[in-house]
Amino acid sequence: MITATYLNEPKEFRSAADMLRWLAEHTYQHSSKRTVREYYLGSPESHGDYWLRERTWLRLSKEDYAHVYRVNRRYGRYYRHMEEKDPEWQDGKRTCWGDNSVDMVQHSRKYPGVTRTVQLVGPHGDACY
């Protein structure tokens, strides 16, 4: 159980993951909501709890903040693994565009029908201007 103070009222969360979901729901960036995957927490050593309090008016103890920070980093690593490593991407067709950029279609070996497009070389040169 994590106990925090929100607008001078005590607020309890069942777990660090529950708190991360609450933070993602109640934090806006450029007038749009964020997802748990996109939510960034600064490290406890760089006073991340201060910036959390400034953005969301949520106060946590240093121990609770460190725990939530660890869960956030762990979720980020899990998501990256599921997006990048788990599908076992196989290179497919390359497309060279007129602005000197190169795109490649990749197919998943593990999940048939799942594809993504990766930009290998960004637009550059005289064609961009």
Question: What CA–CA distance (Å, rounded) separates 16 from 65?
Answer: 9
pLDDT at 81: 86
Q: Which amino acid makes up residue 111? A: Y
Q: Which two three-digit tokens encode residue 85?
A: 């490593």
> What is the C-alpha separation between 93 and 113, in angstroms, rounded?
15
Lowest-confidence pick of 9-13, 19-23, 42-46: 42-46
Higher pLDDT, 18 or 28: 18
pLDDT digit string, tens, across residues 67-111: 888 888 888 888 888 888 888 889 999 999 888 899 999 998 888
Looking at every residue in the chain, the average pLDDT score rounds to 81
